[in-house]
Amino acid sequence: MPRLTLVIPDLYPARQSLDAQAGLPRLPSLERWLARGQSQGHPPHQDQDWRHWLLARHAPAWQGAGLAAVAARAHAPPRTGPLQDGPQPDGPQRAWWLATPVHFVAGLDTLRLHPSGLLLLSPPEQEALAADFARVFAGSGWALVPSGRRELLLLGPSAGAQTCDPARWLGADPTGGLPTGPAATPLKRLGAELEMWLHEHPVNQARAARGRLVATALWLWGAGAGDGHTAGERAGTVRATPVTDGRLLVLHGADAFLDGLAAVTGVARPGEAATLAAAGQAAAGGDMVAVLGSGEPLSSTLLQQWEQDWFAPALQQWQAGQWQALTLACGAQAWLARRGPLAALRGWRRTAPWWEWLLAC
């Protein structure tokens, strides 16, 4: 019997005040799901999230390559492209980084990542930034690659800096998420140069004229060791790694990492679906993973739409026996509701506001 996994991106604990949580809508179907399910715990490392969980489950050979390297398998140009005309970075290897356009709010002595500060730039905006980056940063060893998704890709020197998903810092002081480690200084220097480049950039000026938030920085994260390929792949022994248990797997969602996961596993990627009913038509009785949304900010309206289009149908289908298990992944945690005798004996816990399950520290 197939399994369904829904992912709520950008939702991490302790990033909303109690007052903000009080204004959130109740989601009855999601709350019944959580009351029936069991927490799957947290990833072993603090900076890991639902993406690492999906990699471990569906593409374990790629766990050491980095999230950006996985995304690059779907969105990068040929390997002879971005850095061919400029000097090569120091050392034999290069690394891919996810580059998320963000909006910082600066005070006299404070800095905050705007609550809606993860920006989804249009494809023309991304193309314009990438072309101008190639001009301004020519010869630097760095190349910016548009993806059409929220995260762009940056190719440059392999570095050992540690960074994490900027969604962890929405509405908060982002200092704790800035690069750390022995190679953090060059990455911070590049970040400062990017901020100066973006200040009053024509793309931002056009966004401001339309009343949109402007990209004050690119948040660089998700890099792994080396040039974005596993050692086995460089040796010619790793190819697409399809699911090994014989199940059909279908991936839905407008997400650069999910595009890459489809590329490295060779599984079906029929496109994006706005509802579970539409997505289910492509699953054909197989497992399905759907990342909800297209990179837009979380809002009460969006959550209520997901309740109607995804959470309620998923719970109904699970109760009717269509799914063996439901998994909800968000931030650094996952909740599993499974069919079977033990699940029936465990019974229902009391329902509670969904944020008490998912936003608790």
**Residue 237: predicted pLDDT:** 36
Q: For the chain, what percentages of helix, strand and coil (3-state, to nearest 5) are there?
A: 35, 20, 45
pTM over 0.85? The answer is yes
* Token pair for 5: 């996994």
Q: What is the mean pLDDT of residues 13-28?
A: 74
Q: What is the mean pLDDT of residues 292-309?
A: 93
Residues in CB range of 299: below 8 A, 6 or more apart: none
Which residue type is seen at 340?
Answer: G
**In the predicted model, is pLDDT for residue 155 greater than 50?**
yes
Domain boundaries defined on the chain: 3-63+239-358, 73-221
**Residue 182: predicted pLDDT:** 76
Mean pLDDT (the chain) is: 83
Q: Judge whether 204 and 47 are in contact, CB under 8 Å.
A: no
Helix (H, G, I), strand (E, B) or coil at 124: helix
CA dihedral sign, ordered 34, 54, 48, 302: negative
Q: What is the mean pLDDT of residues 216-242?
A: 59
- The phi and psi torsions of 116 (rounded to 5 degrees) equal -115, 35
Look at 75-84, 139-148, 215-224, 245-254 and tell me which has the smallest mean pLDDT.
Answer: 75-84
Q: What is the mean pLDDT of residues 312-316?
A: 95
Q: Judge whether 37 and 45 are in contact, CB under 8 Å.
A: no
- The phi and psi torsions of 175 (rounded to 5 degrees) equal -55, -40
Report residue 159's pLDDT band, with 50, 70 and 90 as the boundaries.
low
Report residue 72's pLDDT band, with 50, 70 and 90 as the boundaries.
very high
Looking up tokens 């072309």 gives: 131
